[in-house]
Structure 1
Amino acid sequence: MSDEDITLTAGDAEVTVRPGNGGRVSGLRVGGTELLRQGERFGCFPMAPWCGRIRNGRFLDGATLHQMPLNSPPHAIHGTARDGAWSVVRADTDGAVITYPLVEPWPYAGRVTQEFALTPDSLTLTLSVEAHDSSFPAQVGWHPWFNRALVRADGSVGEDVRIDFTPAWQEERGEDHLPTGHRVEPKPGPWDDCFGMPGGVDVTLTWPGQLELKVTSREEWVVVYDEQREAVCVEPQTGPPNGLNTMPRQVTLLEPLEATATWTWRRL
């Protein structure tokens, strides 16, 4: 199937998926209101086969040292899957499946699969990585850019979003923007930080008087980024930044790495 844009609809919710632009969700509209920041680099892109930054772009697999391109010097950031064109396996009215082959510079053969399932009040995202020849460490996650403020039907701009969550800890962030390995009490924002939620990610975004959206996942790691004026990011993922070195999840020929996140919304 082609890599043309996919439009999913359910009730008054509409989602646009762009396989040809890194397999990202480029739009989520509820009642005609766009929730995601627009632009080629924004929307919500998949992070695979790693999330966030890898220190100096290097990771160890056993005794083998691998070097990834430094696309956010001095680090490598957000994986390779967002940079390629994905293939459409299935596209229905309210769901789709797309895939991406792991190719150079990633040193292992494998495949990333994304599944999207839309209902009138939720979008469920499933992301998996499978190995083809040999096992390897990996991470998966999502990097959504939610608009800080929503545009009302009359063209006026609403209030800024409020972010509510209760993490068990915050990963102490070093000067290089990577976790130091120490866990600290959660601090007030602004954030570009990783938090631990052992019971599963549960973050609520509230645009006062307009909409509430909950981001949930069984995974226990979430990066929250709200240092830009236009948007905020709530990123469920299977491990912390630099996790290929500090907390690798091994993908084997028999066991893929799979994660799911759900966005659920309601009008206010």
Structure 2
Amino acid sequence: MGDAIELAAGDYRAAVGRRGAAMCRLAFAEQELIWRCPPDEPPPASHGLLLAPWPNRVRDGRYTFKGVEHQLEVTEPRRGTALHGLAYDKPWLPVEISSARARLTCVLDGTKGYPYSLELSADYELDAAGGLSVTLAARNAGESAAPYGMGAHPFLSIAAPMDDAVLKLPASRRLPVDERLLPSGAPEPVEGTEHDFRTPRPIGATAFDTAFTDLERDADGVAWTVLTSGGASVGVWADASCDWLQVFSAEGLPEGLERRGLAVEPMTCPPDAFNSGTDVIVLEPGEETRSRFGIVRLPQP
């Protein structure tokens, strides 16, 4: 796959791009679990990207931190937002590569609107039983506190039609948004709404571009989203640092992609968190934070 770093373990195969440390492929026994994309081309709908130092959107690209207002580049002009952070289009340096593991690093240093210095690392590891796990870490290498959040943007492959795919989504509340997909109120219960998938059921006509929270977790503190499509089940798990999930059903994408993938995006904070302050991590100089998530093919029940 061009300049991608290819990994293998048991029946799993994966590929990681050097730009943005993006997920370009994850397959199990030749079944593609996520969209497969060339590593040297912009991915469709931000597929596979790692999102730091913020996930999702910042309203008008503007925020205030520690009493100082900052103006980011507006990268989503039609909605007037700064979208998906700064790291996704940066070159990442591979510092460790083996047959089943790759570690890449990237430094953000004084970018427009984000005058802070962060050392980022992404560890991808394949396991023959556990599938793909990803650890994204950030260390404040500067001399002042820095706001931080992270996310990831994989699209799970769906055998058409999406209506028949069965989803289990471990969320009790969803965030209402306006026409710009920016928060318009406090999180609301999903109970009794079309977005309640705590008990697995077919997606049907439900459309998602929605942030969820209040996640149910197992004994290890892990939240599991499970999608069953075309006779296969795929699980996306996220550790306790990720209190939010953005789910997007690929509405409005070009022909061939619309409703052919479900983005399940673990996030440490919600959309526009740099303005609301909700779950923003404040990294003091020298401090580090890390988050883990993964994707695995699950046995049929």
TM value normalised by structure 1: 0.89
User: Which of 172, 194, 202 is equivalent to 2:224?
Assistant: 202
Q: 1:71 to 1:196 in 2, by over 3 A?
A: same
Corresponding position: 1:251 with 2:283:
yes
**Corresponding residue for residue 178 of structure 2:** 174
**Corresponding residue for residue 126 of structure 1:** 135
Instruction: Look up the equivalent residue of 1:13 and give its one-letter code.
Output: Y
Instruction: Look up the equivalent residue of 1:35 and give its one-letter code.
Output: L
Output one character per residue of 1:196-246: Cα deviation in whole Å (capped at 9) or x when no partner: 03444321111142x211111122210000023232100001010111222
User: Which of 257, 260, 264 is equivalent to 1:230?
Assistant: 260
User: Which of 185, 210, 220 is equivalent to 1:193?
Assistant: 210
Structure 2: which 5+ residue stretches go unaligned? Answer: 195-205, 218-222, 252-257
Output one character per residue of 1:48-96: Cα deviation in whole Å (capped at 9) or x when no partner: 0000000111111111111111111200110111111100010111111
After TM superposition, which residue ranges in structure 1, 4 or more long, deviate above 4 angstroms? 157-160
Q: 1:137 to 1:190 in 2, by over 3 A?
A: same
- The structural deviation recorded for 1:166 is 3.3
Residue pair 1:159, 1:207 contacting (<8 A) in 2 also? no
Residue pair 1:35, 1:147 contacting (<8 A) in 2 also? yes
**Corresponding residue for residue 202 of structure 2:** none
State the identity %: 25
After the TM superposition, which of the residue ranges 37-46 and 243-252 deviates more from structure 2? Answer: 37-46
**Corresponding residue for residue 23 of structure 1:** 21
Residue pair 2:162, 2:260 contacting (<8 A) in 1 also? no
Output one character per residue of 1:93-115: Cα deviation in whole Å (capped at 9) or x when no partner: 11111011114233211111101
Output one character per residue of 1:117-154: Cα deviation in whole Å (capped at 9) or x when no partner: 1112311111111111122111011100122228xxxx
Q: 1:176 to 1:118 in 2, by over 3 A?
A: same
Instruction: Look up the equivalent residue of 1:112 and give its one-letter code.
Output: L
Q: d(CA) in 1 for partners of 2:34 and 2:294?
A: 15
Residue pair 1:159, 1:208 contacting (<8 A) in 2 also? no
- The structural deviation recorded for 1:159 is 8.8
Residue pair 1:46, 1:143 contacting (<8 A) in 2 also? yes
Structure with greater proportional strand content: 1
Instruction: Look up the equivalent residue of 1:191 and give its one-letter code.
Output: F
Instruction: Look up the equivalent residue of 2:248 and give its one-letter code.
Output: Y
Q: d(CA) in 1 for partners of 2:170 and 2:298?
A: 21
**Corresponding residue for residue 41 of structure 1:** 43
Q: d(CA) in 2 for partners of 1:160 and 1:12?
A: 26
Instruction: Look up the equivalent residue of 1:55 and give its one-letter code.
Output: R
Residue pair 2:11, 2:128 contacting (<8 A) in 1 also? yes
Residue pair 1:37, 1:230 contacting (<8 A) in 2 also? no
After the TM superposition, which of the residue ranges 103-112 and 64-73 deviates more from structure 2? Answer: 103-112
Corresponding position: 1:239 with 2:269:
yes
- The structural deviation recorded for 1:267 is 4.4
Residue pair 2:170, 2:216 contacting (<8 A) in 1 also? no
After superposition, residues 82-97 of structure 1 pair within 5 angstroms as 82-97=88-103
Output one character per residue of 1:1-48: Cα deviation in whole Å (capped at 9) or x when no partner: xx94211100010010111x2110100011012222233314411000
Secondary structure of the corresponding residue to residue 245 of structure 1? helix
**Corresponding residue for residue 12 of structure 2:** 13
Q: Report the aligned-residue RMSD.
A: 2.1
Residue pair 1:147, 1:230 contacting (<8 A) in 2 also? yes
**Corresponding residue for residue 84 of structure 2:** 78
Secondary structure of the corresponding residue to residue 44 of structure 1? coil
- The structural deviation recorded for 1:258 is 1.3
Structure 1: which 5+ residue stretches go unaligned? Answer: 151-156
User: Which of 129, 150, 166 is equivalent to 1:140?
Assistant: 150
Q: d(CA) in 2 for partners of 1:244 and 1:251?
A: 13
